[in-house]
Amino acid sequence: MITTEDKFDICRKYRVYIELIFILGNGVILQKQFYEICRKLYISRSDYQTRKALSELERLQIIKKKNFLYSKNKVIVLKKFAIRFILKKESSNQVSSIPKSIDKRVITSVFKLDRVIKAIDTYDLYDWNNFLDKMYDLNSTLTYNKARGIFYHEMLMSKYNLNLYEQEMYMRGLENHNNMLRNLEYGRKKKFSNKEISFYNVDINNIKFLNKRDKMNNITIDKLINSNIHIESITDLIDTKIVEIVIMDVNNSQNINRIIDDIIMSCIAVKDIFKRDNIAFRFKIIMWDDVAKKNVKSILAKKSSNEEYNYIRSRLSTYKVDGRNVLLDLKLDINDIKISISHIDIFKKYLGNINYINKN
């Protein structure tokens, strides 16, 4: 018989593994990527040790495994007790389990972990704490999940000594966050006193913007993260901040207009935080595979007889909200924005070279 104390003991023993899955994968992580990160960060001395840890965690019902879409690759999913342990809740009834339908959640995790692995290689990181410290130094949102963007914003305010009263986006994000907590507490007391409740019940990604005005006037860091937009780094030069941002096309939509909206939304967010700084943006658009990448480039080529990104540059230069030119309002020049397109080769690396039909 598995006791609660047995579960606590195993969670304490393998805390770093659980933290990794919770923080980087939002509760789910592709086993192949998990092994790779454990190797690269020396969390385990060998794949055998990782396998043994996962076996113990699964036996004591801390994790479970599912297939990734139609492939043989396994996904590691945190169970309620693991989430309770990480969130330091008194009871498992205070948290909810990961939803049964996790396909989109796992695809998002795969995209994010692909960037994490690149960061580990780029900066030659050597352990979990070293990795977290480096993400902090880079001002990266890659270690922040849904509904946690407010804490990233607070980190920037503290690090850069920003004036609270000039941070309209933070105040908006804080109001949204507090409203969410009140709604959760109200729901728990009135309707879910004996059921499951946690941040996992709030899928902000399902929020539908009514129009472009609402979308652009109500930006928060959470909305960037929920739109699969991550700030990878903010680097301070003498008179300019270099901000690297990755936009992940997790739905494989290959939608140029959505990409343009995401770029504008990111520029508005960053300039709202750093009002007095010169900003140079470096955007990386991440597609599913080389086919998707070529399709996007083909769309751009049809719209431009000159240079590859001329269509995007033209759209960005004339982008208006409420009749006002956004870049002019932000005091940004189109030359301050650089764009590149790449892919993670998801079919070859993770799906056995078999195409996935997105039914969404």
| pLDDT average per 10 residues of sequence, the chain (360 residues) | 93 97 95 96 95 97 91 92 92 82 92 96 95 97 90 95 90 82 59 39 39 72 94 95 97 92 95 94 95 87 61 87 90 92 90 62
Q: Are 243 and 234 in contact (CB under 8 A)?
A: yes
What SS3 state is found at 136? Answer: helix
Contacts of 292 (CB under 8 A, 6+ apart): 249, 252, 254, 343
pLDDT at 195: 39
Write out the two tokens for 257: 């207009």
Rounded distance, CA 165 to CA 7, Å? 45
Query: C-alpha 148: how far from its chain's center?
Result: 10
With b meaning 16 or more CB within 10 Å and e meaning fewer, what string describes 124-138? ebeebeebeebbeeb
Rounded distance, CA 5 to CA 14, Å? 14
Rounded distance, CA 37 to CA 73, Å? 16
User: DSSP class of residue 332?
Assistant: -
Rounded distance, CA 93 to CA 195, Å? 6
| pTM confidence score | 0.87
pLDDT at 235: 97
Residue 149: phi and psi, rounded to 5, are -60, -30
Rounded distance, CA 48 to CA 37, Å? 14
- Count the Cβ atoms, other than its own, within 10 Å of residue 158: 9
pLDDT at 97: 81
Give Cα separations from 182 to 175, 185, 189 (angstroms).
10, 5, 11
pLDDT at 207: 39
For residue 337, which amino acid is it? I
Rounded distance, CA 303 to CA 171, Å? 40
Rounded distance, CA 232 to CA 284, Å? 10
| Selection from 316, 105, 75, 91 nearest residue 188 by Cα | 91
| Selection from 93, 55, 90, 96 nearest residue 76 by Cα | 55
pLDDT at 309: 59
Rounded distance, CA 105 to CA 153, Å? 24
